[in-house]
Amino acid sequence: MSRWLFLACCALVLSAIASIGPTRAHDARPLGGRCSSDRDCQLGLGCVDQAGVMELQCAAPCNSTPSCQERFGADSMCLGADVCARTCGNDFGCPNGSTCNIYGWCEAAP
């Protein structure tokens, strides 16, 4: 009897875990990608919406450019708003949905 009770409890726990679902989208976007929520961004990134700086883009907090580059590579920088941004030389260096601005980092396309 206890074996069946144990199996039933295990089945309930597994079905509860399965119903929670993934915390990130299957096509989660990288640093600089467009987003509408944290779920749209790769693990470790959040969807940042700071008016006049970065609007609905995947980013991470930072305190210096070297901290961004250590985490994301040479093609990143820390903006004055304390968020990592992806650097670029042209639009081809930016993820879909963003363009290279005059300051050399990818921003959300209008």
pLDDT in tens, 22-52: 576 778 899 999 999 999 999 899 999 998 8
At residue 104, the pLDDT reads: 95
Residue 56: inside a domain: yes
Residue 65: inside a domain: yes
Domain with 31 in it? 25-108
What total of structural domains would you count in the chain?
A: 1
Residues 97, 39: Cα–Cα separation, whole Å = 16
pTM: 0.74
At residue 76, the pLDDT reads: 96
Residue-wise pLDDT tens digits, 66-103: 999 999 999 999 999 999 999 999 999 999 888 999 99
Residue 90: inside a domain: yes
- Rounded to an integer, what is the distance from CA 105 to the centroid of its chain? 16
Residue 18 clears pLDDT 80, i.e. is over it: no
Residues 100, 105: Cα–Cα separation, whole Å = 6
Residue 17: inside a domain: no
User: What band does 62 get if pLDDT is binned at 50, 70 and 90?
Assistant: very high
Residues 47, 109: Cα–Cα separation, whole Å = 15
Residue 21 clears pLDDT 60, i.e. is over it: no
At residue 9, the pLDDT reads: 56
Residue 8: inside a domain: no
Which residues are CB-neighbours of 32 under 8 A, at least 6 positions away? 57, 58, 59, 85, 86, 94, 95, 98, 105, 106
Which residues are CB-neighbours of 82 under 8 A, at least 6 positions away? 61, 62, 63
